[in-house]
Amino acid sequence: MLKLAWKNILHKPLNLLLNILLLSLGVGLISFLFLLNDQLKDKFDKNLAGIDLVIGAKGSPLQMILCSMYHIDNPTGNIKISEATPYLRPNHPLIKQAVPLSLGDSYSGFRIVGTEHNLVELYNGKIAKGKMFNNTLEATIGATVAKQAGLKIGDSFKSTHGFIQDEDMMHDHGSLTVVGILEGSGSVLDQLILCNTGTVWAMHDHEEGPTVINEEEPHDHNEEGHHHNHDHEGHDHSDHDHSGHHDHEDHDHGDHAGHDHEDHNHDHDHHHGHSHNHGHHEHGVSRADLLSHPDKEITSVLLQYKSKTNIHALNMPRTIRDNTEMMAASPAYEINRLYSMMGVGTKVLQSLAFLIAFVSAISIFISLLSSLRERAYELSLIRVMGAKPMQLFMLLIYEGLLLAFIGAVIGFIFSRIAMYFMVGYMGDNYNYEFATGLFNSNDWKILAVSLLIGFVA
């Protein structure tokens, strides 16, 4: 009977094509939506990393969250360290951990983030090769960056203003050197180039070209025109004292973090043989150094509370909004709001998919009914040859189930093809790695509903 049912549905190939096409479109669309939602939810949830609050410049809270945590949007602006200092100080009574971020540059489409080592700890990241960044112009890169940009330990590269690959916007000084590569974690770390905040400041400190100050070259303090002011190819180092602190002239470069460069202190360690590259301090910026530059800028701060139930912690966003020039946003709240906004479009597409599946069920029913009428004489002969009524009934059931099964399988193939292109799009535009999803836990449910449609038809 199963073989006869297969022959029957092949007897009218156009009807077969129409029924399968309708059902596969409905199944494919539903399956694709499940795949996409699961992948997006997994990425969003994994990248929350226990962060309770993000502080940044006033603007769109969702934009700030997407930029600072998911790195798929532009910054709302920069904030002065003096404004963020209360939340960056150690031993804050409410804050367990604060992670400063400085954004604004990129390389080969991957974002450069000036930060501290505790950002990697938030995402449970581990070093695969090399070490974590420490000194100025050192970078530790994510696994995806290393793979797609072809970078390895010891390679140097120049950053670009903004997040778009544009050779005209490339910094012509201050190459970053790769000192470490992180293990792939499936988190946002995979697509980031991490360095210290001092590196971001250094890349925007001078626009007139690189200068390497040779430590062994003696400085003639009595030479005419110097008067303790050392001008090295346009780099004005005023008030050179024996502690090695240099004050740099302000350079305003728009919205990139760290473009305000007053009182930039450089610590020169003459006991370790470090050369003074670009006149910048070699040991980066520690938390104490960061707080000692109140007029400089960063992009945002990621916060973790000591207690999520503390009433003062829960009121912190309102306090920041009402009493400072900054804005605070809760990642969990904003991502749920994003889910709800996406949910409207998803529900529309799901409704369309269910409508297509319903039309497909009607089409299969009409096809089987027409076939039954045309084969009345044939079915009578089968009955005369000894077939029971239940066998004839199962013949029709087999036909409906075969149509539904074939339609579901082709629908699954359609959904994977669509997901393949979505993976390519997300990778090209946002550097996010999505899996094509050969199997999804919802596939069994979709297959069961498809077979039910065939059975009912």
401 contacts 454 by C-beta, under 8 angstroms: yes
Query: What pLDDT, on the 0 to 100 scale, is given for residue 308?
Result: 80
Query: What pLDDT, on the 0 to 100 scale, is given for residue 170?
Result: 65
Query: What pLDDT, on the 0 to 100 scale, is given for residue 5?
Result: 85
Stronger pLDDT, 223 or 387, i.e. the higher one? 387
Query: What pLDDT, on the 0 to 100 scale, is given for residue 227?
Result: 40
Q: What are phi and psi of 412, to 5 degrees?
A: -60, -40
Distance CA 79, CA 261 (A): 13
Distance CA 71, CA 299 (A): 12
pLDDT higher than threshold 70 for residue 189: yes
pLDDT tens digits for 24-42? 999 999 999 888 888 888 8
pLDDT higher than threshold 50 for residue 77: yes
Helix (H) or strand (E) holding 410: helix 389-430
Query: What pLDDT, on the 0 to 100 scale, is given for residue 173?
Result: 65
Instruction: Please list the alpha-helical segments (H only) found in 286-330.
Output: 287-291, 311-314, 316-323
pLDDT higher than threshold 90 for residue 367: no
pLDDT higher than threshold 80 for residue 250: no
pLDDT tens digits for 138-179? 999 999 999 988 999 999 998 887 667 666 666 666 789 999
> Which positions ≥6 away from 418 have C-beta within 8 Å?
28, 32
> Which positions ≥6 away from 245 have C-beta within 8 Å?
265, 266, 267
Name the band, by pLDDT with cuts 50, 70 and 90, for residue 100: very high
Query: What pLDDT, on the 0 to 100 scale, is given for residue 411?
Result: 93
Instruction: Please list the alpha-helical segments (H only) found in 292-330.
Output: 311-314, 316-323
3-class DSSP state of 210: coil
3-class DSSP state of 98: strand
Query: What pLDDT, on the 0 to 100 scale, is given for residue 211?
Result: 33
Query: What pLDDT, on the 0 to 100 scale, is given for residue 379?
Result: 86
Query: What pLDDT, on the 0 to 100 scale, is given for residue 36?
Result: 85
3-class DSSP state of 30: helix
Query: What pLDDT, on the 0 to 100 scale, is given for residue 341?
Result: 83
pLDDT higher than threshold 80 for residue 219: no
* Alpha carbon separation from 224 to 133, 230, 237 (Å, rounded): 40, 11, 16
By percentage, how much of the chain surpasses pLDDT 90?
34
Mean pLDDT of 312-321: 88
The span from the first CA to the last CA of the chain, in angstroms, equals: 18
- Largest CA-CA distance found in the chain, in angstroms, rounded: 121
Distance CA 74, CA 328 (A): 16
Query: What pLDDT, on the 0 to 100 scale, is given for residue 431?
Result: 66
Computed over every residue of the chain, the mean pLDDT equals 79
Stronger pLDDT, 339 or 178, i.e. the higher one? 178
The interaxial angle of helices 331-374 and 13-46, nearest 10 deg, is: 170
Stronger pLDDT, 213 or 263, i.e. the higher one? 263
Query: What pLDDT, on the 0 to 100 scale, is given for residue 406?
Result: 94
Which residues are paired to 194 by β-bridges?
113, 140
Parallel, antiparallel or unpaired: strands 176-182 and 138-141: parallel
Token duo for residue 3: 């073989």
Name the band, by pLDDT with cuts 50, 70 and 90, for residue 80: very high
Query: What pLDDT, on the 0 to 100 scale, is given for residue 205?
Result: 67
Distance CA 223, CA 225 (A): 6
Parallel, antiparallel or unpaired: strands 176-182 and 156-157: antiparallel
